[in-house]
């Protein structure tokens, strides 16, 4: 009788621990879904900005041949992409918590566990690519500052209208060497290609996040 009582108590404790772990698993899944929803929202914003930056760079390239002739309002009003882009910030609070505490063992559903780790790996590979882009941007920023009088341009933009700047006939180029200007144009063209590549990657990331949310909702039966 004593053995039976001890055995039943042991079973009851195991059942209770299992229930607690399953409850924690569902809590983690809910939290991961919330994180991915933030990711997809941020990605939507990023994708839209990349589309706009690509459009502006296209405008720059079309009027670039005329920049040595004096102020070109179209060129200068399209310079935003040459000041950088908003980095995608990965909302990985829950996944990091699971990985650092060994909590991934709580995710008993193999489809869910594999989907979560694949998504995490996908995002981290993208971050590596984005870091390489940052280095390229640093170089193009330096070239931009060697070609354009940034301080004068920014000061005039703050205090004058485009029409006033146009009437002044001021040219914000500080070099006129054709080779240097051609090299800068090539850099801008490369930047457009990079932005296009990052945009396509972010579209795939958003799709991966959306599919993972659907998978987790299906496997754990919640809306």
> What value does the mean pLDDT of the chain take?
85
What's the pLDDT at 180? 92
Rounded alpha-carbon distances, angstroms, from residue 136 to 10, 122, 131, 140, 201: 61, 22, 9, 6, 18
pLDDT over 60 at 138, yes or no: yes
Lowest mean pLDDT among 18-32, 45-59, 97-111: 18-32
Q: What is the pTM of this model?
A: 0.83
pLDDT over 60 at 18, yes or no: no
Q: Alpha helices, DSSP H only, in the chain?
A: 2-63, 73-76, 93-100, 110-147, 150-159, 162-168, 178-220
Inter-residue contact 147 to 188 (CB < 8 Å): no
What's the pLDDT at 21? 58
d(C-alpha 172, C-alpha 151), whole Å: 10
Two structure tokens written together for 85: 């882009």
Rounded alpha-carbon distances, angstroms, from residue 134 to 37, 83, 160, 165, 194: 26, 11, 32, 32, 11
Domain range for 96: 2-220
Number of domains in the chain: 1
């Amino acid at each position: 009788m004593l053995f039976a009582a001890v055995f039943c108590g042991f079973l009851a404790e195991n059942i209770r621990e299992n229930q607690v772990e399953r409850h924690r698993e569902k809590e983690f899944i809910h939290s991961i879904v919330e994180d991915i929803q933030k990711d997809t929202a941020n990605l939507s914003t990023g994708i839209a900005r990349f589309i706009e930056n690509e459009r502006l760079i296209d405008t720059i390239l079309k009027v670039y041949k005329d920049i040595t002739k004096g102020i070109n309002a179209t060129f200068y009003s399209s310079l935003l992409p040459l000041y950088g882009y908003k980095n995608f910030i990965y909302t990985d609070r829950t996944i990091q918590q699971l990985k650092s505490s060994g909590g991934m063992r709580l995710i008993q559903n193999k489809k869910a566990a594999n989907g979560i780790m694949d998504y995490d790996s996908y995002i981290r590979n993208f971050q590596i690519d984005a870091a390489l882009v940052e280095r390229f941007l640093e170089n193009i920023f330096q070239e931009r500052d060697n070609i354009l009088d940034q301080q004068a341009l920014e000061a005039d933009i703050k205090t004058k209208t485009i029409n006033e700047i146009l009437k002044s006939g001021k040219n914000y180029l500080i070099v006129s060497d054709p080779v240097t200007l051609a090299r800068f144009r090539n850099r801008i063209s490369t930047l457009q290609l990079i932005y296009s590549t990052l945009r396509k990657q972010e579209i795939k990331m958003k799709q991966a996040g959306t599919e993972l949310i659907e998978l987790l909702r299906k496997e754990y039966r919640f809306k």
